[in-house]
């Protein structure tokens, strides 16, 4: 095999990629997300779970009470109203931040009205929830209902788990890192589709075939360009995520599995390019397939998407799994290159 010529062909495709705004935009977005991954995680968790950032927000609010709840009045300073309409009037004028409708003499649930403005709603909900937790405990004591509290122990010692940690953990290792792996693989596969179909549509493939390179070597050169792109982007986002203070364990396995997943999508991209021979249709079919399988990848714990999260979090996994994915992806890709000729 003319290795130097194949390598020059791969580098030519990579240089051509710089001119494609789509690929450049995806790579810039990938780098941006990983560069500010901790900030993005913090912002998303603020909206999803306000308690996660409760320490950063002053927990004070003016609350109105409609109804009869003397025990609640002892726990929380409220402004009493004899009708909901009067409370709503001051609520819309901004004099009060929230309304609680309660009646201790009945078994009806509390109704809480919060403002639409997100920051104020977060602040008010944190204040009210803290008071309502105390109110619930007082009601349980008054009605002789036992209070059960979960305690966590490690090595015989009780440990306190900060609120929001589990949600943060899930977002990082179940969503963020798998999405970075998917984005890298999709970018690499998209590059292959563009480079392959462009040669076919512009008839330059015939010129390549007249060179010393065989069809197989041309295909390998095209695939190598995509592989280099994936092998370059993967360590970049891993380093940037770690630089943001997010722990990634078993870095070598995360890198290997990410490349394996890229090879899987590159195999799909190669097949579509050779069979369809049209850039727009190949990209369309590829996009439809990817959109269809992504939900399955996230819901299956044995998929590369589920596995990369467990590996990065240093959870339970078998070394056999990433090795199988790497070997299988290589065998499938090389077999397709031998079977499908451009």
> What average pLDDT does the chain have?
81
Give 178-214 pLDDT, tens digit per residue.
Answer: 989 999 999 899 889 988 888 888 888 777 777 777 8
- Residue 281's pLDDT band (boundaries 50, 70, 90)? very high
Confidence of residue 216 (pLDDT cuts 50, 70, 90): confident
What's the CA gap between 151 and 70, in Å, rounded? Answer: 32
Per-residue confidence band for 48, with pLDDT thresholds at 50, 70 and 90? low
Can you give the pLDDT at residue 145?
Answer: 78
Q: What is the mean pLDDT of residues 80-99?
A: 90
Its pTM stands at 0.67
Residue 214, pLDDT score: 80
Nearest to 259 by CA among 191, 323, 318, 196: 323
Report which of residues 309 and 144 the model is more confident about.
Answer: 309
Alpha-carbon span 142 to 140, nearest angstrom = 5
> Coil, helix or strand for 44?
helix
Distance CA 104, CA 71 (A): 8
- Are 51 and 229 contacting, i.e. CB atoms less than 8 angstroms apart? no
Measured in residues, the chain has a length of: 342
The string of pLDDT tens digits covering residues 148-157 is 666 666 566 7
Per-residue pLDDT averaged across 69-98, rounded? 89
11 class by beta-carbon count within 10 Å (0-12 exposed, 13-18 middle, 19+ buried)? middle
Domains of the chain listed by start with CATH number: 3-45+164-339 (no CATH), 55-159 (3.40.190)
Within its chain, how far is the Cα of 118 from the centroid? 23
Beta bridge partners of 65: 80, 100
Helix (H) or strand (E) run with residue 158 in it: strand 157-159
Residue 161 has pLDDT above 60, yes or no: no
CA–CA dist 180, 33 (Å, integer): 9
Query: Rounded to an integer, what distance in angstroms lies between the CA atom of residue 250 and that of residue 228?
Result: 21
Encode pLDDT of 242-277 as tens digits: 888 888 999 999 999 999 999 999 999 999 999 998
């Amino acid at each position: 095999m003319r290795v130097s010529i194949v390598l020059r062909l791969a580098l030519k495709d990579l240089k051509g990629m710089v001119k494609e705004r789509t690929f450049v935009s995806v790579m810039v977005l990938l780098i941006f997300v990983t560069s500010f991954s901790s900030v993005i995680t913090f912002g998303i968790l603020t909206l999803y779970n306000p308690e996660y950032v409760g320490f950063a927000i002053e927990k004070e609010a003016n609350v109105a009470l409609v109804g009869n709840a003397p025990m609640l009045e002892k726990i929380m300073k409220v402004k009493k109203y004899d009708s909901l309409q009067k409370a709503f009037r001051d609520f819309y004028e901004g004099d009060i931040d929230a309304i609680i409708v309660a009646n201790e003499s009945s078994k009806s649930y509390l109704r809480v009205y919060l403002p639409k403005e997100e920051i104020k709603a977060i602040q008010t909900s944190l204040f009210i929830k803290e008071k309502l937790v105390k109110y619930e405990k007082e009601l349980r004591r008054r009605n002789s209902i036992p209070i059960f509290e979960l305690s966590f122990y490690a090595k015989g010692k009780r440990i306190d788990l900060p609120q929001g940690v589990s949600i943060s953990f899930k977002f990082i290792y179940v969503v963020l890192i798998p999405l970075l792996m998917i984005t890298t693989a999709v970018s690499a596969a998209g590059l292959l589709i563009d480079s392959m179909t462009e040669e076919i549509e512009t008839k330059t493939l015939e010129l390549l075939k007249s060179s010393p390179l065989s069809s197989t070597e041309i295909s390998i050169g095209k695939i190598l360009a995509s592989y280099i792109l994936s092998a370059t982007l993967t360590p970049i986002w891993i380093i940037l995520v770690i630089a943001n203070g997010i722990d990634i364990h078993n870095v070598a396995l995360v890198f290997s599995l990410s490349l394996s997943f890229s090879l899987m999508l590159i195999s799909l991209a190669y097949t579509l390019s050779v069979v369809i021979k049209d850039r727009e249709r190949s990209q369309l079919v590829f996009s439809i397939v990817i959109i269809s399988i992504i939900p399955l990848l996230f819901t299956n714990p044995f998929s590369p998407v589920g596995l990369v999260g467990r590996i990065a979090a240093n959870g339970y996994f078998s070394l056999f799994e990433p090795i199988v994915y790497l070997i299988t992806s290589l065998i499938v890709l090389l077999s397709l290159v031998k079977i499908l000729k451009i």
